């Protein structure tokens, strides 16, 4: 099987809810109002609860309690609402996943950390629309969950990475492609904007090809996530390309700050998303 075939098999198990498509359609309609978005969200009690919880969390640090859907949408923004729904799909898939082929705690910790580190580094690099980078960082390795569900024995082989054989190198060796390629194909099926898919598809080759800042940021964030989850086995020197840092004007201190920010906020995000495998 190739990356696209894995994504096609997984689409039924990890499908976007109808509300995602409705929100996306509203975003593309210039006549849409806050009330239009609120009407879609309000019919889903779980989504409404999650939205209000996030609006009142330390992530936004808004003074005063946010108690209505329309106010929460105004504070967070419609793009962030859509991104949150994508995050929720990932969280739901994770919570209902019962498979011992991969380390689920590590998978979710690394994914959330990568999203947060991407968001922080995007600010440092002067990139606008940092929420886009958070979603890309969070979902970049979603293909791991898909392969683990469809071919658990192959996913288990891909768990045996080390400093001598990095995760994406081992995936290429075992599968003939990387988890990020599966992620990109699934997001394409989901009709996710190309500006989110593109850095996911290319970041592992960031040091070989001329690409934009998004790709470079995701490359750095993914390496920080690897060090975060395996501090005894990996270090910045193993995976971080100094030339990419220079091109983004990101210093060692900036990397440390991004890692520190992500480490603190990862636990908060995991608690919000109710990831039951995190302890």
Q: How large a percentage of the chain has pLDDT more than 90?
A: 33
In a domain, 66, yes or no: no
Cα first-last separation, the chain: 35
Local confidence band at 273 (pLDDT 50, 70, 90 cut-offs):
low
Q: So what's the pLDDT on residue 140?
A: 92
pLDDT at 277: 40
Q: Which domain holds residue 246?
A: 3-15+89-272
In a domain, 10, yes or no: yes
Domain membership flag for residue 96: yes
Considering the domain boundaries, does residue 127 fall inside one?
A: yes
Q: Is residue 250 a part of any domain in this protein? A: yes
How many separate domains does the chain show? 1
Instruction: Using alpha carbons, select from 38, 195, 56, 228 the residue that is nearest to residue 128.
Output: 195
**Rounded Cα distance, 19 and 25, in Å:** 10
The two three-digit tokens of residue 150, written as one number: 């469809």
Give dist(CA 27, CA 32) in Å, integer: 7
Relative orientation angle of helices 104-124 and 130-139, to the nearest 10 degrees? 160
Q: Is the pLDDT of residue 123 over 70?
A: yes
Q: Give residue 90's region: left, alpha or beta (phi > 0; psi -120 to 50).
A: alpha
Residue 251: which residues within 8 A CB-CB, separation 6 or more? Answer: 245
pLDDT confidence bin for 279, thresholds 50/70/90: very low
Tokens representing 130 are 């940092």
pLDDT above 70: residue 58: no
Is residue 38 situated within a structural domain? no
pLDDT per position as a tens digit, 124-179: 999 887 878 888 998 899 899 889 988 999 999 999 999 889 999 999 999 999 99
Q: What is the pLDDT of residues 84-99, one digit of tens each?
A: 777 777 666 656 566 6
Q: Is residue 251 part of a domain?
A: yes
pLDDT of residue 96: 58
Instruction: Show Cβ contacts of residue 31 under 8 Å, excluding neighbours closer than 6 positions.
Output: none
What is the mean predicted confidence (pLDDT) over 209-238? 86
Rounded CA-CA distance 50/8 in Å is: 29
- For the residues of 203-228, what is the DSSP string, one character each? GGGTTTS---HHHHHHHHHHHHHHHH
Indicate the pLDDT class of residue 276, thresholds 50, 70 and 90.
very low
CA–CA dist 224, 155 (Å, integer): 22
> Region 218-244: what's the mean pLDDT?
85
Does the residue 235 lie in any domain? yes
CATH number where 195 lies: 1.10.3210.10
């Amino acid at each position: 099987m190739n990356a696209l075939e894995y994504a096609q098999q997984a689409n039924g198990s990890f499908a976007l809810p109808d509300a995602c498509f409705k929100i996306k359609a509203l975003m593309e309609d210039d006549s849409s109002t806050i009330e239009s978005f609120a009407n879609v969200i309000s019919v889903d009690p779980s989504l409404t609860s999650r939205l209000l919880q996030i609006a009142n969390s330390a992530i936004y640090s808004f003074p005063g309690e946010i108690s209505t859907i329309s106010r929460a949408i105004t504070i967070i923004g419609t793009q962030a609402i859509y991104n949150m729904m994508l995050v929720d799909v990932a969280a739901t898939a994770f919570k209902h996943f019962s498979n011992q082929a991969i380390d689920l705690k590590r998978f979710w910790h690394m994914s959330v950390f990568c999203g947060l580190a991407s968001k922080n580094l995007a600010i440092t690099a002067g990139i606008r629309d940092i929420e886009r980078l958070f979603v890309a960082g969070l979902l970049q390795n979603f293909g791991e969950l898909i392969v683990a569900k469809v071919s658990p024995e192959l996913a288990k082989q891909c768990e045996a990475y080390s400093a001598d054989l990095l995760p994406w190198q081992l995936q290429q060796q075992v599968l003939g492609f990387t988890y990020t390629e599966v992620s990109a194909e699934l997001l394409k099926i989901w009709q996710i904007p190309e500006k989110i898919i593109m850095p996911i598809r290319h970041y592992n080759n960031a040091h070989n090809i001329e690409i934009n800042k998004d790709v470079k940021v995701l490359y750095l964030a993914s390496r920080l996530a690897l060090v975060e989850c395996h501090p005894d086995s990996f270090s910045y020197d193993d995976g971080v390309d100094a030339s990419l840092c220079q091109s983004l004007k990101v210093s060692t201190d900036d990397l440390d700050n991004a890692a520190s920010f992500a480490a603190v906020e990862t636990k908060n995000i995991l608690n919000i998303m109710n990831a039951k495998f995190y302890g």
